[in-house]
Structure 1
Amino acid sequence: MLPLLRYTLQVRSQNREELIDVTQEVESLLLRAGIDRGLCTLFVPHTTAAVTVNENADPDVQHDLLAHLRRLVPRDGGFAHAEGNSDAHIKSSLVGVSLTLPVERGKLALGTWQAVYFCEFDGPRARHLHVYVLPVQSDDGGELR
């Protein structure tokens, strides 16, 4: 069995809310580690940020996602938590702080128009994205027939 690999990416947001495409950074880790196939888990160790997969061809999709999250969870929503970032905590929980994606031929097995986005809801800040890679060794391609 091959060992679990762990990396930490630094992500720096420029705005209070934004989606940052981290696909290339994650794939460069896979390339550096020489991973051909396996599973890649991404984890955000913050309560006001998240990670998701979404379309990368049309930036309107990212704008729409943020706009609808703002409408669903407005910043001035009358929260009991009084630090001023309660909406960011809820948005983080709604989107989620982890993803597990397959790795095939050294790349994330994403669809044509998909990318991995770090979701900032309380920036600008310096953040971390933990990347765990479980390599799989297979002689027959691993396909069920």
Structure 2
Amino acid sequence: MLNLQDELIISNNGQGMYEITNNVHDWIVKNNIIKGQLNLFIQHTSASLTIMENASPDVLDDINSFFQRIVPEDASLYKHGYEGDDDMPAHIKSMLTQTSLTIPINNKEMQLGVWQGIYLIEHRYSKYKRKIILSYIGE
């Protein structure tokens, strides 16, 4: 049985969705992962992780528009704004999405569907470096 834990640092250009599937795949190859479960956990309250379609850029635009409608970035709606007008909306968006993912691995490949990709979602306007903890158990 093999247990590994590592971190992945992802730099971004501010609010948006960033596909990190290749970053995770490279980590699997580097560590000669064969079969097991990989957990990804983001250590932030204003960014999140998700698995979604990676074929059409329209999906990213539609999801961004959806978030803008359900979580308006209007400072007058929130008490908390210590780090800026986008702070509280970012926390809400993070809460509505996911901070961790578990992905099965078999034969050195993530068992993702044909159109699935792993994404870091940055909910803040500014550029950030986000830390994702990778925890693996398997062969």
Matched length: 134
* Counterpart position of 2:91: 89
Of residues 24, 30, 43 in structure 1, which corresponds to 2:22?
24
Partners of 1:87 and 1:52 lie apart in 2 by: 18
SS of 2:23's partner is helix
SS of 1:50's partner is strand
Cα deviation for residue 107 of structure 1 reads 1.6
CA RMSD of aligned residues (A): 1.1
Cα deviation for residue 128 of structure 1 reads 0.8
Cα deviation for residue 3 of structure 1 reads 3.1
Moved over 4 A (4+): none
Deviates most, 106-115 or 73-82: 73-82
* Counterpart position of 1:36: 34
Partners of 1:127 and 1:135 lie apart in 2 by: 26
Matched ranges for 1:82-121 at <5 A: 82-83=81-82, 84=85, 85-121=87-123
* Counterpart position of 2:7: 8
* Counterpart position of 2:136: 133
Bigger Rg, which one: 1
Partners of 2:129 and 2:103 lie apart in 1 by: 24
Partners of 2:109 and 2:67 lie apart in 1 by: 30
TM-score, length of structure 2 as denominator length: 0.92
2:4 maps to amino acid = L
Partners of 1:46 and 1:110 lie apart in 2 by: 24
SS of 1:129's partner is strand
- Is 1:53 paired with 2:83? no
Partners of 1:25 and 1:111 lie apart in 2 by: 17
Cα deviation for residue 108 of structure 1 reads 1.1
Partners of 2:92 and 2:31 lie apart in 1 by: 35
SS of 2:81's partner is coil
* Counterpart position of 1:139: none
User: Structure 1: any 5+ residue segments left out of the alignment?
Assistant: 137-145
User: Structure 2: any 5+ residue segments left out of the alignment?
Assistant: none
Instruction: Give percent identity, aligned residues only.
Output: 31
